[in-house]
Chain A
Amino acid sequence: MSEQASALDAILARKQQTAGEVVSVDEALVKLVFFSLGEQWYAFHGENISEVLAESEVFFLPGCPASLEGVINVRGDIESVIRLRAVLGLPDSNGITGSRILLGQARAMRSGIRVDRVEEVIDVQESAIQPPPHTIPEHLRPIVLGIVSFREHLVHLLDLERIFEDYRAGLR
């Protein structure tokens, strides 16, 4: 009996939760590309990401910082590849397999961006993007546009244009 009640409670709780998530069909949707670096999830605006590359050979170039992995040939176009972990000041990912390169574009700049995993590409409601909290690390503040709650993760939505500009200027 108590088991039945418990199961019913769970069902009702789920129904209530679902009912609370009223979706406004009129609200603007924003495409986001979710990815992870270790346990932390991040996202870029979908309009800034043209491709997700799985197995591109990266050619090392001498004289570049460690955060600049090299260049790739994308159907005849040569693009740089930056390691987002290094750009964000995170330690190297030792032994992570299945990493991906996002091909990013912001204004006139294009580059590949190495990430650990691509989690999802999905439309979210614009209102789901909340302003960044004051608790995020200081070095991330200039490049975090907002926070999105997605699949039990608090996702940092990153400003790719600012990342590219800062990187080009040697600030990251």
Chain B
Amino acid sequence: MAGDEALDVVSFTAGGYRFAVEARQIDHMLDHVPATVMAIEALLGQAPDGETGPRRRLQVGTHCIEVGEPVELRAVPAELIHALPALVAARTRLKGIRALVLEAGKPLLLVDLRAVLAQQAG
């Protein structure tokens, strides 16, 4: 039923703001700290803000991405997901932003992490 359509995402924070990635892009969450970790802020092109809150690590393909807490697995109703307005899509400095969700008065930016990693590798 179209009204029940939802997208499973893993949400987290980066630079003090809320982001999410499709759950299918995440392999698993790591309990340990591997030798090589990429900060989500650097990956997205976000300026470091000195945030020192708790962090978690997500395995995405061969990469380990460190993100800010809270990290949650949840379903976002499709009707809350919006394409980026044209001017935002054109002018954002962040990489891989695909859509946004407005819920409870706060924006949640949906990121295509795999595309960002592929772009970085290429």
Enumerate chain A interface residues (CB-CB to B < 8 A).
57, 59-65, 68, 70-71, 73, 76-80, 82, 108-111, 164, 167-170
Distance (Å) between the CB of A80 and the closest chain B CB?
4
Contact A78 B85 (CB under 8 A): yes
Q: How far is the CA of A51 from the CA of B105 in the complex (A)?
A: 22
Contact A168 B92 (CB under 8 A): no
Q: How far is the CA of A62 from the CA of B46 in the complex (A)?
A: 8
Contact B87 A62 (CB under 8 A): no
Distance (Å) between the CB of A10 and the closest chain B CB?
51
Contact A59 B46 (CB under 8 A): no
Contact A110 B17 (CB under 8 A): no
Q: How far is the CA of A169 from the CA of B45 in the complex (A)?
A: 19
User: B5-21 vs A: 1/0 string, CB under 8 Å?
Assistant: 00000000001110000
Contact B90 A168 (CB under 8 A): yes
Q: Most A CB atoms within 10 A — which of B46, B83, B86, B87? A: B87
Question: Chain B, interface size: which category?
Answer: 20 to 34
Which residues does chain B contribute within 8 Å of A169, judged by CB atoms?
Answer: 90
Which residues does chain B contribute within 8 Å of A76, judged by CB atoms?
Answer: 79
Which residues does chain A contribute within 8 Å of B109, judged by CB atoms?
Answer: 61-62
Distance (Å) between the CB of B50 and the closest chain A CB?
15
User: In the complex where A62-B46, A78-B100 touch, is A108 in contact with B86 (Cβ < 8 A)?
Assistant: yes
Contact B106 A71 (CB under 8 A): no
Cβ-Cβ contact count across A and B, 8 Å cutoff: 72
Judged by a CB distance under 8 angstroms, whether B48 is at the interface is no
Which residues does chain A contribute within 8 Å of B61, judged by CB atoms?
Answer: none
Contact B88 A68 (CB under 8 A): yes
Which residues does chain B contribute within 8 Å of A62, judged by CB atoms?
Answer: 15-17, 46, 94, 109
Enumerate chain B interface residues (CB-CB to A < 8 A).
15-17, 44-46, 79, 82-83, 85-88, 90-94, 97, 100, 102, 105-107, 109
- Name 14 A/B residue pairs within 8 A (Cβ), A-sorted: A57-B105, A61-B88, A65-B93, A70-B107, A71-B88, A71-B102, A71-B107, A78-B85, A78-B102, A80-B85, A80-B86, A110-B85, A111-B86, A168-B90
* Residue from A59, A60, A111 in contact with B87 in the complex, judged by beta carbons closer than 8 Å: A111
Contact A59 B102 (CB under 8 A): yes
Which residues does chain B contribute within 8 Å of A168, judged by CB atoms?
Answer: 86-87, 90-91
Q: Who on chain B is nearest to A62 by CB?
A: B17
Q: Who on chain B is nearest to A68 by CB?
A: B91
Q: Who on chain A is nearest to B101 by CB?
A: A78
Contact A61 B92 (CB under 8 A): yes
Q: How far is the CA of A140 from the CA of B85 in the complex (A)?
A: 25
Contact B87 A65 (CB under 8 A): no
Q: How far is the CA of A64 from the CA of B46 in the complex (A)?
A: 10
Contact B85 A71 (CB under 8 A): yes
